[in-house]
Amino acid sequence: MPLLTFAVALLALLPASQALPASIHYPRASISALSTTQISSFKPYTFYASAGYCNAAKTLAWNCGANCQANPSFVPTASGGDGDTSQFWFVGYDPTLDTVIVSHQGTHPEAILPLIEDADIVPENLDSSLFPGISSSLKAHSGFADAQAKSATQVLAAVNTTMLKHSTNKITLVGHSLGAAISLLDTVYLHLQLPSAALSFVGYGLPRVGNQAFADYVDALGASVTHINNKEDFIPILPGMFLGFVHPAGEVHITDANAWDACPGQDNPSTQCTVGDVKSIFSGEEADHDGPYDGVEIGC
Ligand SMILES: *[C@@H]1O[C@H](CO)[C@@H](O)[C@H](O)[C@H]1NC(C)=O
């Protein structure tokens, strides 16, 4: 093998081999497929994540077409964003699920790739005014942190109001793509701002948001965290682990045969999970990013 080819091959191997500690071993048996009932239980959240793409005036009136009609009893509290310089978002209450819902608009792959790659890629500290007392060892992608900061205080006020009005301490944060990244940051943010809240996060096509300390912090929150990745979608393998980015636990990977496999641990390297299945953006499939997730194509 010519030296240059070998060097290039080695470079390609380096990130993965560095990022996977040899001591961690995931036996195949530890990956389990979700039941049909478990898969169906995500459907309301999938539609809420999809409705995140709808115009703020329409979600405030809960008149956004099929995405709104799928959760007909939803009671909206507030919405915002302009879908251009800031992502749309909405907050409200689902009486059937008895939870506050927070949803953030995402981006489609052609828009998120430049954000992931061009933004200052070195993970940065979280803003101490939004995240009071958070350890400086926790770092997040600056583009995602900037997007979360735009709506943070409005979302907090709306969530607080909704919790009091409907006498619930349950908050479920959803989103797809960039919207999932914003909602994961909101999960940490709301944990700090509303310590009595019981938090759940359901993300779709979540990119890596922060560093190892951030992922460990999310894992230790006591929140229910699920991030669902569809087939060969390559957004969840970005930014790369060799840049210091790590996913929290809670991956569910939809296989080519439409099984939903629960992949334990952080960045599970099994070929049944995203890291093992989608080795690079070149072997990935851009179209899989938007779904379908149990029949739902994300978008408004
Ligand atoms: C939530 O609302 C209550 C009542 O208005 C207020 O006292 C409290 O400061 C609010 N909390 C946050 C974190 O905004």
The CATH number of the domain holding residue 147 is 3.40.50.1820
111 confidence band (pLDDT: 50, 70, 90): confident
Q: Per-residue pLDDT averaged across 11-17, rounded?
A: 36
17 confidence band (pLDDT: 50, 70, 90): very low
Euclidean distance between the first and the last CA atom of the chain, given in angstroms as a whole number:
50
**Cα gap 248→231, rounded to integer Å:** 19
The alpha carbon of 131 and the centre of ligand 1 are apart by a number of angstroms equal to: 16
pLDDT in tens, 139-148: 999 999 999 9
Domain that holds residue 269: 6-290
| Amino acid found at 65 | G
* Closest approach atom of ligand 1 to CA 194: 13
The alpha carbon of 160 and the centre of ligand 1 are apart by a number of angstroms equal to: 6
Percent of the chain with pLDDT over 70: 89
Cβ distance 188 to 131 under 8 Å?
yes
Asked if the structure places residue 296 within a domain, the reply is no
Asked if the structure places residue 222 within a domain, the reply is yes
* Closest approach atom of ligand 1 to CA 193: 13
Q: Per-residue pLDDT averaged across 221-234, rounded?
A: 97
Amino acid 281: pLDDT: 84
Residue nearest to atom 11 of ligand 1 (CA): 160
Q: Which residues contact 300 (CB under 8 A, 6 or more apart)?
A: 50, 51, 53, 54, 55, 64, 65, 67
Asked if the structure places residue 298 within a domain, the reply is no
Q: Per-residue pLDDT averaged across 252-278, rounded?
A: 96
Asked if the structure places residue 295 within a domain, the reply is no
**Cα gap 268→174, rounded to integer Å:** 22
Q: Per-residue pLDDT averaged across 90-104, rounded?
A: 98
Residue nearest to atom 1 of ligand 1 (CA): 160
Q: Per-residue pLDDT averaged across 24-29, rounded?
A: 50
The domain total for the chain is 1
What is the DSSP track for 1-36?
Answer: --HHHHHHHHHHHHHHHHHS-TT----GGG-EEPPH
Q: Per-residue pLDDT averaged across 30-59, rounded?
A: 97
CB under 6 Å to ligand 1: residues? 156, 160, 193-194
Residue among 129, 154, 156, 160 whose CB has most ligand 1 atoms within 8 A, to mutate: 160
Cβ distance 24 to 246 under 8 Å?
no
Q: Which residues contact 278 (CB under 8 A, 6 or more apart)?
A: 232, 233, 234, 236, 237, 284
Q: Per-residue pLDDT averaged across 25-42, rounded?
A: 83
pLDDT in tens, 153-207: 999 999 999 999 999 999 999 999 999 999 999 999 999 999 999 999 999 999 9
Asked if the structure places residue 201 within a domain, the reply is yes
Amino acid 24: pLDDT: 52
**What is the token pair recorded at 110?**
């052609």
- Whether this prediction's pTM lies above 0.75 is answered by yes
**Cα gap 175→247, rounded to integer Å:** 16
The more confident residue out of 5 and 74 is 74
116 confidence band (pLDDT: 50, 70, 90): confident
